Structure 1
Amino acid sequence: MGKHEQPRSISLTDPRALRAYAHPTRMRLVGMLRADGPFTATRAAELTGESVASCSYHLRILAKYGLVEEAPGGRGREKPWRATARYTDWPGDSEDASVAEAADALSAAVAELYFGRVLRAMEDRRSLPREWREAEQLGDSLLYLTPAELTALGERVDDLLRPYEDRETDPSLRPEGAKPVSVLRIAYLDRETLAAQGDAIDPAAPGRSDDPDTRP
């Protein structure tokens, strides 16, 4: 399967796969392969600063759980790797305690990775052209929503972003001046505001279960 034929997402539900993917180097490798792959373990080492042996090991672990695969065109031991999908899904909730624990740990690892990138972007933003500094966005909104409304809002955001997705794998679709932009999506129940209002959430209240959240 060529990169342009990738499925949109791969779903992880095995606790072992969830724990394996939570490693920061593995998440970086998958992200780099999605953006700039295929490439070899040697190239991965150059991009990450890790050793070739380390990158080769992490790539094999990722392949074990279906997140990457060997790409054609290798020479000898220098085999290229490619991502198997554009995005990774995993359960937002599960009645299986081992799945829920592993999924929460992966979500926490992803959040840590994201915010590390945001902080580095903030540190370097003065070097950007003014038009990009003015276009970048950082802010928040406090909304009062039901679970169903929050789900619908996420679907509407998906619909807004989807027309731009093919530009990642097809450079001919990028207009002049287009650059890679990371768009983070974070929506969570604001416990601090609830506590200040003397409100509480009943964990037994009906809600979604085993509904995968799409994360880049």
Structure 2
Amino acid sequence: MPDQPVRDITDPQALRAIAHPLRLRILEAVALHGPLTATQVADHVGESPANCSWHLRQLAKYGFIAEAGGGTGRQRPWRLVTDGHRWGDGEESPELARAGDAAAQVLLDLEYRALHAWMAARRQESPAWRDAGFINQFLSWYTAEELGALQSEVRELFARHLDRLDDPAARPPGSRPVRLMAWGVPAVDGRAVDMPAGGGPARTGTENGES
């Protein structure tokens, strides 16, 4: 499939629009079951249609969902906009930084809860699904450029079947929603290897009894 479009979010209000647990649940319902009307969303998230309708309009205002066509009012269906979203690259205003941190925290809280739910329920899954689920943990050394390249590679892998969100007919028999989450962050207490004037990697630690 073509590369996933990525939207750079520079408006703090757009980030505040998703820094809300209920709105993330609404987005997920539309992603997995949409297009959905406000009434149908309400059935999935356990809120009133009026409340869901208001939140859907806010999500649409900032480009996270769009009208799917047909219907009016609360019977108007909404679909997910499957563009990727990116914020916080390079210089950012203090307001954007605060909004981005809040949005990231809400997103992580949602995924942590989902991970714990899987860990609690995985023994009731079939062996095939239980064995397919995984948690990988690594510790290694990267330059900033290498870590950035790894980020791009992971994004490409995760977006491989993104078309299945838009097109239910593209979902193969036996498939089910799968949550994909990855991070690669510099260790806060890890010091970078110094580069000497000659350009080669500096010696670290001790060698031949010298310190």
Q: Give the TM-score category using the shorter length.
A: 0.7 to 0.9
Q: Which segment is superposed worse, 87-96 or 34-43?
A: 87-96
Aligned to 2:87: 90
Normalised to the residue count of structure 1, the TM-score between the two structures is 0.78
Code of the residue aligned with 1:160 in structure 2: it is: L
Whole-angstrom CA distance in 1 between matches of 2:30 and 2:174? 23
Cα distance per residue 1:149-208 (max 9 Å; x no partner): 10111122233334322233334444443322211111212225x3xxxx48xxxxxxxx
1:58 aligns with 2:55: yes
Moved segments of 4+, more than 4 Å: none
Whole-angstrom CA distance in 1 between matches of 2:104 and 2:85? 11
Q: Which has the higher contact order (CA 8 A, sep 6+)?
A: 1
Cα distance per residue 1:39-96 (max 9 Å; x no partner): 1111111101112121111111112212222221215641111222343322245331
Aligned to 2:66: 69
Q: What is the Cα-based RMSD across aligned positions, in Å?
A: 2.4
Residue 45 of structure 1 contacts residue 52 of structure 1 at CA under 8 Å; is this kept in 2?
yes
Task: Give secondary structure in 1 for the equivalent of 2:136.
Answer: coil
CA distance 1:169–1:54, shift in 2 (3 Å): same
Q: Which segment is superposed worse, 153-162 or 94-103?
A: 153-162
CA distance 1:127–1:84, shift in 2 (3 Å): same
Code of the residue aligned with 2:40 in structure 1: it is: R
Whole-angstrom CA distance in 2 between matches of 1:49 and 1:114? 19
The equivalent position to 1:32 in structure 2, one of 14, 29, 33, is 29
Aligned to 2:208: none
Aligned to 1:150: 147
Whole-angstrom CA distance in 1 between matches of 2:109 and 2:144? 25
Residue 20 of structure 1 contacts residue 61 of structure 1 at CA under 8 Å; is this kept in 2?
yes
The equivalent position to 2:131 in structure 1, one of 124, 129, 134, is 134
Aligned to 1:178: 175
Residue 14 of structure 2 contacts residue 62 of structure 2 at CA under 8 Å; is this kept in 1?
yes
The equivalent position to 2:111 in structure 1, one of 110, 114, 121, is 114
CA distance 1:78–1:191, shift in 2 (3 Å): same
Normalised to the residue count of structure 2, the TM-score between the two structures is 0.80
Aligned residues: 191
Code of the residue aligned with 1:23 in structure 2: it is: H
Task: Give secondary structure in 1 for the equivalent of 2:66.
Answer: strand
CA distance 1:10–1:36, shift in 2 (3 Å): farther
Code of the residue aligned with 2:185 in structure 1: it is: Y
Task: Give secondary structure in 2 for the equivalent of 1:191.
Answer: coil
The equivalent position to 2:77 in structure 1, one of 77, 80, 93, is 80
What's the % identity of the aligned pairs? 38
CA distance 1:155–1:119, shift in 2 (3 Å): same
Question: Any gaps of 5 or more consecutive residues in structure 1?
Answer: 1-6, 201-216
1:45 aligns with 2:42: yes
